[in-house]
Chain A
Amino acid sequence: MNDDQVANQMLDDAQVAALLAEEASQHFPGAKVENVEKMSGGASRETWSFDVLQPEGNRLGLILRRDPGNTGSTGEEGWRGGKTTYSLDRTTEAQLQRAVYEAGGLVAKVHFAIPKDHALGDCYVMDRIEGEVLAPRILRDDAYADARKTMAYQCGEILAGLHAVDAAALPSGLVQMQVQELLAYYRELMDGVSDFYRDETAVARPEYHPAFELTFRWLQQNMPKDAPAGLVHGDFRNGNFVVGPEGIRAVLDWEIAHVGDGMEDLGWLCVRAWRFGQHQNPVGGFGQRVDLFAGYENAGGRKVDPKVIHYWEVLGTLKWGIICMFQAYKPISGLVDSFEHLAIGRRACENEIDLLKLIEESS
């Protein structure tokens, strides 16, 4: 841990609020900062909400996104000190959000980024887009009934746009993660967690996941032909959308964006875990595949091959299963102090059952 992180670690909420107010008033000269408030939400990132009241009288609603620095990261990058990571730091994430915004993408406008050596740590400030983020509410509340009807098609349109962002405009920190790299990454994560259990815990046994092994084999044998490389969001699903009664207003959480096959985003959106029980709607719990594909193609995306999407749905289900393993690893290894993560490890097997079905369907 370096000195910045130590400094970062010692900030309490009042200090963060004061530093934020100071930074914001420098960026918006003469403005007053009001309503600084820590929002609930992600464990790996802190989100703060605040208002800036400008001298001419208009009010900006803003969001600060920062790494809390107190638990180490709770993302996969926390594994073994980030040996193999493809997740972005906040500076790169802010650059990417800017590039997508300038290309006309549905993303919050970034106002300013704060570098790592600042007392607040690596973080950035963007527009606060009002709307609902909680997936179960978006899927069940009457207020979003109309939104649900159009969201699958809209997701296709949004993805076509972001996959077409000019590669030259993307930040240089984005990593190439085509299918081979992703498979290698998740293989290493799965084996690393299992080896840790065998070598460094009292139980002293690895984990065995024959269904994951069968899936890795199937993924090697059924790999799609080389695809054009472009921007991939990487976690495009309900829970990372800000939604209003009319539909999606913004796409959040760009931290595992990478350069790869855009079909990954379409497949991930169809993974069972994101349906929150609404299995009649395979796309994110709100829509049908045909609508997603039509939105994508009509907005200029390349022709969608349902078999390729199925491939990415299999890979996504595997990825989610391995992330379940990793969630239990966090408290077991001492990476975070959170007993409820332990239970998520026992959900890896649900993905294994799903995977057997998925790879059987297509052989």
Chain B
Amino acid sequence: MPQDRASAEELLAGVEGFLRKDVLPQLSGASIYKCRVAANMLSIVQRELAQGGAADKAELEGLQNLLARESDKDDIQASLDDLNAEFCVKIRSGELDQQREAVIAHTRRTLIDKVGIANPRYAGLPK
């Protein structure tokens, strides 16, 4: 059932703006830091809503190529769990040692998307 406006994104942006513009200037001491953290958390969720779907799809495609199979799970989160579990076990056991370059390339792509949501200003992101 589609919800009426404001959308989830709009609600979050509204609260974030309130925290940054109205609440923050009135605070002092440790609350300033906490209020910034709270506003940053709302930014993370907004980026996740905007970019998470595409990131999940790209990750799934990468895993399918590396592991040469598709998951039989019916939703994308369950499929990602299924394939990531196998991916991690195979890295650990050394079964993917021969595909090291492809493994690292996929992992790096996935992490760039992940950090792009969690903290796009991270200076360690490859340019």
Contacts and interface: CB of A to CB of B under 8 A. Distances in A.
Contacts of A206: 81, 85
B104 interface: yes
Contacts of A184: none
Given A213-B91, A349-B111, A353-B111, A277 B123 contact: yes
Secondary structure dominating the interface of B: helix
Contacts of B114: 349
Interface in A249-285: 272, 277, 279
Contacts of B85: 206, 208
Contacts of B112: 353
B41 A342 contact: yes
A339 interface: yes
Contacts, number: 79
Interface in A203-222: 205-206, 208-211, 213-214, 216-217
Nearest to A212: B88
Contact of A343 (B41, B108, B122): B41
Interface string B93-127: 01001000001101110111011001100111110
Contact of B44 (A40, A213, A343, A354): A343
A340 interface: yes
Given A343-B41, A343-B44, A360 B81 contact: no
B115 A210 contact: no
Secondary structure dominating the interface of A: helix
Nearest to A360: B104
B104 A214 contact: yes
B91 A208 contact: no
Interface residues of B, number: 35
A209 B88 contact: yes
Contacts of B106: 210
Nearest to A342: B41
A356 B91 contact: no
Given A217-B91, A346-B44, A210 B123 contact: no
B92 interface: yes
Contact of B38 (A214, A339, A349): A339
Given A217-B91, A346-B44, A356 B81 contact: no
B73 interface: no
A285 to B, nearest CB: 13
A205 B88 CA distance: 15
B119 A346 contact: yes
A353 B115 contact: yes
A214 B107 contact: yes
Which of A40, A206, A214, A342 neighbours the largest number of chain B CB atoms within 10 Å of its CB? A214
Contacts of A209: 88
B84 interface: yes
Contact of A272 (B91, B111, B119, B124): B124
Interface of B: 30, 33-34, 37-38, 40-41, 44, 77, 81, 84-85, 87-88, 91-92, 94, 97, 103-104, 106-108, 110-112, 114-115, 118-119, 122-126
18 contacts: A206-B81, A206-B85, A208-B87, A210-B88, A210-B103, A210-B106, A211-B107, A211-B111, A213-B91, A214-B103, A217-B91, A217-B92, A342-B41, A343-B37, A343-B41, A349-B111, A353-B124, A357-B124
5 closest pairs, A vs B, by CB?
A208-B84, A346-B118, A213-B91, A340-B37, A349-B114
Interface of A: 40, 205-206, 208-211, 213-214, 216-217, 272, 277, 279, 339-340, 342-343, 346-347, 349-350, 352-354, 356-357, 360
